[in-house]
Structure 1
């Protein structure tokens, strides 16, 4: 894996971990950071030795959202266009949801707007009680492009989603837990160990079955109950690690 400028990458015992590493600007999503996220996610998705992909942030934030200053500078310098940046973010999200690995957002602090859109695309989200999570598109006069209006209402319901977007007011990690925006919130000091515990539970299960079920969950979320039930009934996934798990079950009875 290559060395990146705006993210830190590590891999150990079946787990890939990315840390957004622009703490001086609250890990704001510069065009380069988004490009690096898309690149690393694509590479992780092709690595069968990795079972779980975790993304967290350095310092006080997971990410404060799209870095508008860096975006403008990049456009003026001819490095990226606004369309290219939107495309890269969308590609990252598509990779997250298509990859066979379980993806986990470890939200350690501020998480706003474009970053919240990215967070919503992870399979699982664990947040610090102290985190602040919100959608401020209406505050800045910018329409979302990475799925906010669709995924947020799937998580918390239509009226709550509209309230969060229309008021542009963030919620704490605790409140995010209460309304179903995250899987669980814990004190910041316990966040990493909580995620590690979840990761260990996941690693003990059939990676191929998890990948198949992830595929079916997202199909149903995107196409509705009737088509989802048909898809699940008709799906024929190749799961070659089943016999190993059945043998272990017999041994442990």
Structure 2
């Protein structure tokens, strides 16, 4: 069985994490979540790592939660209620998301928990909570407005429409849009520029920016979780929800 997370060091000070479930569009399973958490904690303790690149193998960056585990099992896993999101945001070093293809719901969240996003021109971002009758648990209702602005966040979350790479660049959500075959090189170039700077300054600047952006975050998170029923709006029948899931991921 292939490793669900590939780890390499393409340059000095740069650690690259590749989501490796291409047949499932890199949907986050329990195994992948466990590996991500483990590697990120290892990186946080490794002073030789200056920056992280997060990417996906295959046709997409990440399709969000593996819904067979999210809904289907008795011990169903809600990826929103894990430490992954805050761990990325509070990691000692910056994290660059290199996004191509789809970044859907949890995959969208995964991208904007990173410090910088480089996108290929075929990248598409989409939050599907409303279309599936779900309520967020990963802080999307608080994180997305802080990254893309309140007006665009409302439109994306309430309509569930896709956001193109170019729209994301114009909104300031994505820092660079490049052709697909230039994505990895561009992310690596950006990582090298960061790795060449003072580790202490980079660490402190990341922390200060995050503190400035997250005022009142705890209140918003408390409201989100209070209004959530394990990720699901209870008035949506399972059959209807499953049909919508199939339409989105088909």
TM-score by length of 2: 0.81
Residue 65 of structure 2 is matched in structure 1 by 66
What whole-Å deviation, never above 9, does each CA across 1:107-137 have from its counterpart, x for those lacking one?
Answer: 0211000111121110111111101111111
> In the TM superposition, what are the counterparts of 1:25-36 in structure 2 within 5 Å?
25-36=24-35
Residue aligning to 1:116: 108
- Which structure has the bigger radius of gyration? 1
Q: Match for residue 10 of structure 1?
A: 8
Measured after TM superposition, the shift of residue 4 of structure 1 is 8.0
Q: Write out aligned runs for 1:1-253 (5 A).
A: 5-11=3-9, 12-73=11-72, 75-76=73-74, 78=75, 81-82=76-77, 85-88=79-82, 91-223=83-215
Structure 2 distance, partners of 1:72, 1:112, is 17
Q: What is residue 236 of structure 1 aligned with on the other side? A: none
Shift in alpha-carbon separation, 1:204–1:16, aligned structure 2, 3 A = same
Extract unaligned runs of 5+ from structure 1: 225-253
Which deviations, in whole Å up to 9, do the C-alpha atoms of 1:58-108 show, x marking residues without a partner? 0110001111113345x33x4xx435x4433xx112211222211110102
| Counterpart position of 2:219 | none
- Asked if structure 2 preserves the Cα contact closer than 8 Å seen for 1:126 and 1:183, the reply is yes
| Structure ranking higher on relative contact order (CA contacts 8 Å, 6+ apart) | 2
Give aligned pairs, total.
Answer: 215
User: Cα deviations across residues 170-229 of structure 1 (Å, max 9, x unaligned)?
Assistant: 1221121111221111111111111111111111110111101111111111227xxxxx
> What TM-score do the two structures reach when normalised by structure 1?
0.80
- Runs of 5+ in structure 2 lacking a partner? 217-250
Equivalents in 2 of 1:65, 1:82: separation in Å? 12
CA distance in 2, matches of 1:159, 1:214: 25
Given that residues 45 and 95 in structure 1 are in contact (C-alpha distance below 8 angstroms), is that contact kept between their aligned partners in structure 2?
A: no
1:36 and 1:71 map into 2 onto residues whose CA distance is 17
Q: Is the 8 A contact 1:31 1:71 kept in 2?
A: no
